[in-house]
Each structure stands twice: as C-alpha cells, then as structure tokens.
Amino acid sequence: MEDHFIQLDDVHLTFRIHAARTYSIKETVVNAVLRRNYGKGPTIVNALRGITLNVPNGQRLGIIGDNGSGKSSMLKVISKIYPPTSGKVRCQGFLVPLLEVGIGFNFELSGLENIFLTGAIMGIKRKEMEKKVDSIFEFSELADFANTPVKYYSSGMTQRLAFSIATEVDPEILLLDEIFSAGDIHWMERAEARMRGLIDRTRILVLVSHQMELFEKYCDRVIWMQKGQIIADGEPAELVERYRATAGAGAGALTGDVST
Amino acid sequence: MATLSTITEVWRFREVIKNFVAQDLKVKYRRSYLGFFWSLLNPMLQLAVISAVFSLIFKFEIRSYALYVLSGLIPWSFLATSITESSMSVISAESMLKRQYFPKLIFPLSIVMQNMVTFVLSLIALLCFLGFFIGFKLTPSLMILPLSFLYIMATALGLGAIAAVLNVYFRDVQHLIGVFLSAWFYITPIIYPMEAKQAQDNGAQVKPGAPAEMIDAGPIPHEYRQYFKINPFFSIIEMFHRPIYDGRLPTRSEFIAATIVAFGSLGVGLLFFGYFDKKLIFHL
C-alpha cells in the first residue's frame, strides 16, 4: 500500500505587486527617459506566512477562513501552481486540483476530443481515458453530441461535460476550491451524488469552501486560516462553531491581507 | 540546474505536448476540404509572385531562381512563424497555468513542434509538386536535410523560448518581433542569392571564359559579403540552400557556423527560460 501525504514545512508565499505595472517596453523606456517614478516600490503581499502542515493518508481536510486569508493560495502552493517563496512543499500521490472545471477546453474540438485533451492535461494516459469515455457521456447525457465541436455547446452543456470529466478521474490527492455544480435541480442532485463518489474515492481531500455544512459532511479535520497563518486546527464541528461566532461579531475579519 | 529540472519536467509532460500538437494541427486543417493541401497554396503563391517579380528585376533565370527562393523561403517561414507564435504561447496559456501546474516550456515547444510538422511536410510536398518544373535534382547531399531540420528546430525553440519569456514581462515585445523578423528577412539572402550561381548553372547570362569577377557577380558586392555571413540565420538557411538548390553539402565553415547557431540558440534559450521559469506565474 502506497503512502500518500502532503507536507508543508514553514512555507511562505510572497507576492510583489508593482504599483505601476509597466508591462511594455514603450512605457518602461518613456518612464526612464522622463524620469517618471510611479509607485513607491512594489506592494508586498504575504499570502502565506510560515505554514507547517502534515496531511496523512486518508485524511479529509477542510480549510476555513475569510476572503484573502490564504486558503486559495494554500491550494495553489500544494498543487505547485505557485512555487513557495521559502519553505518546502512535498506531496506524494496522484494529485488532481479542481480549482475550476473546464480548463484547457479547445472549443474548436469535439466533446470526445476534449475528453482526451483534458485527460492528458490532468496526467491520464489515453488508454485509461478511453475506458472512461462511456461513463462520462452517460453522466453528462451528451452522447449525441460527442462529435460536435464544443463551441456549438450551450454553456450548460459545456459545464456538464467539464464536470463529468473532472469527476470521472481517480485522484489520490484531491484539491477542491468550492464544490461547483451549476444547473437545474435534477442535475444538481445527480452532480452532488457524483461529487460524493469522487470524494469517497480519493485518499486525501483538501476542501476550501464557504459552505460550512460541507465541512461537517465531508471532513474529519479543519484548519482555520487568517492572514496567511493557521490560527486553529481541530474537529470540524467545533471549529465551524467558533468560526461562525466570529463572523457574527465581524471582528476585523475583513481587514485581512489582500486577496490573491 | 533550473534548466535541467525544466527539461526533465517537460519529458514527464510529453503526453500533454503530444495532445497540444495534435489538437492544433487538427484544428488548423479541419475546416477546409483540401486540408493540408490548402496550406501549400500560400507558399506556392508567395513563391510565384516573388519568382515572377524578382526574376524580372534581377534578370535571373526564373526556374532555377524559383528553386532558390523555395529552398530558403520555406525554412524562413517556419523560423519566423515559430518565433512569433511562441512569443504568445505562455501568455495565452494563462488561464490554464493559474489552475494547474505545467512546466511552462511545453507551450513554446508545442508551437515549434506543430510548425515543424507542417514545415517538413510542406517542403517535401512542394519539392515533389514543383521540383520537376524548377530543376530540383535528387543528390546524395540531400542526406544532410535531417540535420538541417534539427538545427533549424533547435534555433526556433531557443529563440521562441526567449521571446515567450520577454513577452510575459513586456507585452509589446510581440510587435517588435514582427518588425524585427521582417527586417531580418531582407538582410538574409532568401529572395536574392549571395552568389550568381544560377548564371553558371544555366550558362544563360555568363559566357564560358568570362572574367572571374563576372562569374562570381551576384547582387551583393564582394566586399560586403562577409557582413552578410555574420548573420546567424545565414548559415541556418544555407543548410537548406546548399543541398536543395546547389545539390551539394554546405561548406565546412557554413556547417560549423550553423552548428554553433543551433546549439547556441537552444542553450541560451533554455538557460534563459530556466532562469525565469518559476517567476513567470507571478507576472501573468
């Protein structure tokens, strides 16, 4: 049995946001010639400040916190999208970050071709993906449109296809930023069941959400983040309770670090 | 070392690259009935116009001039298109890069590979279709072409990778690249030959026994030729001119220059890209 884990060791993530974003040579040259100096230097945003976290095999971790507390940055550091400014990030296991569905769709290509493309992007071989095609079309109810270019799909159909592909995979580490499922009520019910199936299959779950009831439903551990730090770590029920209490008071909650 | 890890990462993502290349080719050739053959029309028309106009102005013998232009123009188009498209590659992948990790080098690499497929196929197809009419001959020197392809691809990838990084930091680089490349097109012997080789071949303009300077007369005066040869693209294009048009191997110095240019571009490009690789995401 393989051991899957996520390890963060004193991870810092710092963004430098330049006040005058000179994104062109023209502006840079003009500014240099005219000796213009916009900006009092870059604004530094500490999205994560010294995060140390161990997520062992089998754990279902929830992250709560206000907007801009570093929840999404945390997921992006775990998934390697952002390299940490300092500290170490180690993950073992097939990682699927579902930060938003439908990435990498090529709208000129058919639904079927996009299934393979998305599979490849997620790191799944074509052979394995072939076994999943039927199930994806069955769930999305788009079998009749398999060979239609995605640009002719309605937005609902595109979403359905994206969601069906994303939830057909077998991750070992699953990162979820909000549980997404838009659509009619009939679809929502099926989507939720399918999402639950995905969450049950994965070895490790890291869930970021603003829907508190999800933590009690899916997680067995919750961390609470504020201004890029973990300020509490414990049982979902207890932490959600405490978090809700502060929300009522609204104590300085919105003065956290700039949202990333 | 950043570069080394970049390369191993790229290898791990080979499946993604394969998909990117395949999907782009598919989209490109899907919508027309003629598919790939449609894409030959553009270079053929370009070739016809250039050959007709310049053979008149320079009084070149049109058939052999057409072969000369073909053997330089098609590789040049590959180089120019690859660099231009690569410069946009990382920026246009922004939404993907913000939702999942990719080694960023796969974006310029896919562009270059995809153009490479079109380039190799169209060069072969054009030589097959037109070769007979414009005096193309099969010679053993053509055996060097795989190496020529490799060199030009290395050059395109190296320069494309640099362009891709620059464009993330300065979004107007792509416009400059366009201007730059069209200027470079004219200082590289593509629509004009360096030496009046065709005159000798056809014996049309130069009579046997003419003075040496007459035989060696080309549009470029002797004393300026060395400056044209400094142009790094010159040796790369000569890797195609020589076997396809002259029917012989590149000279030793041209070959050495081409080797340096190809490996130099690739090496500098990868080092440059590797250095900025991890910083790019914060500038998108």
pLDDT at B227: 81
Integer CA distances (angstroms), A83 to A4, A68, A86, in order: 21, 18, 9
- The answer to whether B19 contacts A120, with C-beta atoms less than 8 Å apart, is yes
pLDDT at B205: 45
pLDDT at B157: 97
Using a pLDDT cut of 70, give the percent of chain A over it. 87
pLDDT at B148: 97
Joined together, the tokens standing for residue A166 give 């994303």
Q: Which of B27, B171, B174 is nearest to B110 (CA)?
A: B27
Lowest mean pLDDT among A115-119, A198-202, A249-253: A249-253
Helix axes B62-92, B106-130, angle to 10 degrees: 160
Taking the C-alpha atoms of residue B156 and residue A124, their distance in angstroms, rounded to an integer, is 30
pLDDT at A43: 80
For the stretch A2-31, pLDDT in tens is 689 999 999 999 988 765 556 778 777 887
pLDDT at A251: 46
Minimal-distance CA residue of chain A relative to B22: A117
Query: Please, where are the H alpha helices in B33-105?
Result: 36-58, 62-92, 94-97
Query: Please, where are the H alpha helices in chain B?
Result: 2-12, 14-30, 36-58, 62-92, 94-97, 106-130, 145-169, 173-187, 197-202, 212-215, 222-230, 232-240, 252-276
Spatial contact of B15 and A125, defined as CB atoms under 8 Å apart: yes
- Contact A123/B at CB under 8 A: yes
Residues of chain A contacting residue B23, judged by C-beta atoms under 8 Å apart = 106, 109, 113, 117
Interface with B, mutate which of A13, A18, A22, A24 (most B CBs under 10 A): A24
Spatial contact of B83 and B177, defined as CB atoms under 8 Å apart: yes
Q: Which of B187, B190, B151 is nearest to B72 (CA)?
A: B190
Contacts 24+ apart (CB under 8 A), B55-59: B58/B192, B58/B219, B59/B205
Say whether pLDDT at A161 is over 60: yes
Taking the C-alpha atoms of residue B152 and residue B149, their distance in angstroms, rounded to an integer, is 5
- Find the helix or strand (DSSP H, E) in which A86 lies: strand A86-92
Say whether pLDDT at A39 is over 80: no
Minimal-distance CA residue of chain B relative to A120: B16
Helix axes B14-30, B36-58, angle to 10 degrees: 70
For chain A, which domains are there?
Answer: 5-32+42-93+209-255 (3.40.50.300), 98-202 (3.40.50.300)
Nearest Cα of chain A lies from the Cα of B139 at a distance, in angstroms, of 42
Spatial contact of B269 and B162, defined as CB atoms under 8 Å apart: yes
Question: What is chain A's mean pLDDT, rounded?
Answer: 85
What is the three-class DSSP state of A24?
Answer: coil
Nearest Cα of chain B lies from the Cα of A240 at a distance, in angstroms, of 27
- The answer to whether B171 contacts A24, with C-beta atoms less than 8 Å apart, is yes
Strand A229-234 and strand A86-92: the pairing is unpaired
Interface with A, mutate which of B13, B14, B23 (most A CBs under 10 A): B23
Lowest mean pLDDT among A250-254, B236-240, B243-247, B268-272: A250-254
Cα-flanking dihedrals φ and ψ of residue A88, to 5°? -120, 140
- Contact A21/B at CB under 8 A: no
Nearest Cα of chain B lies from the Cα of A76 at a distance, in angstroms, of 8
Taking the C-alpha atoms of residue A81 and residue A78, their distance in angstroms, rounded to an integer, is 8
Strand A173-177 and strand A229-234: the pairing is unpaired
Say whether pLDDT at B14 is over 60: yes
Taking the C-alpha atoms of residue A9 and residue B247, their distance in angstroms, rounded to an integer, is 63
Burial class (CB in 10 A: 0-12, 13-18, 19+), A98: buried
- Determine the average pLDDT of the residues in A84-102: 87
Spatial contact of B101 and A79, defined as CB atoms under 8 Å apart: yes
- Determine the average pLDDT of the residues in A40-49: 82
Taking the C-alpha atoms of residue B103 and residue A204, their distance in angstroms, rounded to an integer, is 24
For residues B70 and A250, which has the higher predicted lDDT (pLDDT)? B70
Spatial contact of A63 and A222, defined as CB atoms under 8 Å apart: yes
Taking the C-alpha atoms of residue B69 and residue A129, their distance in angstroms, rounded to an integer, is 46
Cα-flanking dihedrals φ and ψ of residue A49, to 5°? -130, 95
Say whether pLDDT at B201 is over 70: no
Say whether pLDDT at B210 is over 70: no
- Determine the average pLDDT of the residues in A157-176: 90
Taking the C-alpha atoms of residue A178 and residue A206, their distance in angstroms, rounded to an integer, is 10
Minimal-distance CA residue of chain A relative to B20: A117
* B100 vs A16, A79, A109: nearest CB: A79
- Determine the average pLDDT of the residues in B171-198: 86
Taking the C-alpha atoms of residue A102 and residue A115, their distance in angstroms, rounded to an integer, is 10
- Contact A125/B at CB under 8 A: yes
Nearest Cα of chain A lies from the Cα of B42 at a distance, in angstroms, of 23
- Determine the average pLDDT of the residues in B78-105: 92
For the stretch B211-223, pLDDT in tens is 444 444 566 777 7
- The answer to whether B96 contacts A121, with C-beta atoms less than 8 Å apart, is yes
Nearest Cα of chain A lies from the Cα of B136 at a distance, in angstroms, of 39
pLDDT at A51: 94
Say whether pLDDT at B200 is over 70: no
What is the three-class DSSP state of A176?
Answer: strand
Q: Name the DSSP class of B281.
A: G
Joined together, the tokens standing for residue A93 give 């296991």
The alpha carbon dihedral of B258, B263, B264, B268 has a sign of positive
* A121 vs B16, B278, B282: nearest CB: B16
For the stretch A62-75, pLDDT in tens is 999 998 899 989 99
Buried-state track B144-179, b at ≥16 Cβ within 10 A, e below 16: bbebbbebbbbbbbbbbbbbbbbbbbbbebbebbee
pLDDT tier at A256, thresholds 50, 70, 90: very low
Joined together, the tokens standing for residue A135 give 């199930």
pLDDT at B203: 41
- Contact A42/B at CB under 8 A: no
Minimal-distance CA residue of chain B relative to A102: B96
Residues of chain A contacting residue B276, judged by C-beta atoms under 8 Å apart = none
pLDDT at B269: 96
pLDDT at A22: 61
Lowest mean pLDDT among A139-148, B39-48, B190-199: B190-199
Minimal-distance CA residue of chain A relative to B172: A24
What is the three-class DSSP state of A159?
Answer: helix
Spatial contact of A90 and A40, defined as CB atoms under 8 Å apart: no
ipTM: 0.83
- Contact A253/B at CB under 8 A: no
- The answer to whether A121 contacts B278, with C-beta atoms less than 8 Å apart, is no
Nearest Cα of chain A lies from the Cα of B108 at a distance, in angstroms, of 16
For the stretch B25-36, pLDDT in tens is 888 887 666 777
For the stretch A185-239, pLDDT in tens is 788 888 888 989 999 999 999 999 888 888 999 999 999 999 999 999 999 999 9
Q: Which of A219, A249, A255 is nearest to A235 (CA)?
A: A219
Burial class (CB in 10 A: 0-12, 13-18, 19+), B12: exposed
Taking the C-alpha atoms of residue B93 and residue A19, their distance in angstroms, rounded to an integer, is 24
For the stretch B118-169, pLDDT in tens is 999 999 999 998 888 888 989 999 999 999 999 999 999 999 999 999 999 9
- Find the helix or strand (DSSP H, E) in which A9 lies: strand A5-17
Q: Which of A120, A119, A15 is nearest to A77 (CA)?
A: A15
Domain-by-domain residue ranges, chain B?
Answer: 21-283
What DSSP assignment string belongs to A204-253? EEEEE-S-HHHHHHH-SEEEEEETTEEEEEE-HHHHHHHHHHHHHHTTTG
